[in-house]
Amino acid sequence: MSTTLFLRFSKFDVYQNPVFVASSDSPNTEEHASYEVLKTYFTNLQKKGISTFLPIFQRGPFASIRFKKHYQHTHMVPNNIYEVSFEIRRQTRDGKQYVNCFIQGLKIERKVSIDRGEVLDLSM
């Protein structure tokens, strides 16, 4: 089952997997709704008793989701908000259960504007 959420790109982890976040404190209503969904997913994953690393994490006003790097992502900029379609899959290997998130589609929703200041004229 595919899910679509509006998530803020945070960074690439040490394995170059994209990490996205959502906050309950965000003034963006889509991001706040995405936080609530990730919080629910995290709680449901914890209830399943999976002992390996969980790709979704929630603490306080923040929730994060880490995707596998199989998706050919374009240049993603930190703090930009993306519309991310993804699937969560469980796999059993060597008697352990692993949960991974895979991006199905990615579309930029909102770019963050950066205040670069004013241009200085140093020719004088």
Q: Is residue 14's pLDDT more than 80? A: yes
**Rounded Cα gap, residues 111 and 123, in angstroms:** 33
- Identify the domain containing residue 102 by its residue range: 2-110
Nearest to 31 by CA among 66, 76, 77, 64: 64
Provide the 10 A C-beta neighbour count for residue 96.
Answer: 10
Task: Kindly report, residue by residue over 74-97, the tens digit of the pLDDT.
Answer: 688 899 999 999 999 999 989 889
Q: How confident is the model at residue 117 (pLDDT cuts 50, 70, 90)?
A: confident
Render pLDDT for 19-69 as a digit per residue (tens, 0 to 9).
999 999 888 888 889 999 999 999 999 998 888 899 999 999 999 999 998
Q: What's the one-letter identity of residue 32?
A: H
Sorting pLDDT into bands at 50, 70 and 90, what band is 123?
confident
Give Rg (Cα) of the chain: 17
18 in any annotated domain: yes
Chain-centroid distance of CA 65 in Å reads 4
Residue 113: the pLDDT is: 65
Apex CA 21: angle with CA 16 and CA 24, to 5°?
170
121 in a structural domain:
no
Mean pLDDT value of segment 10-25: 93
Considering the domain boundaries, does residue 124 fall inside one? no
When divided into structural domains, the chain yields a total of 1
> Is 123 contained in some domain?
no
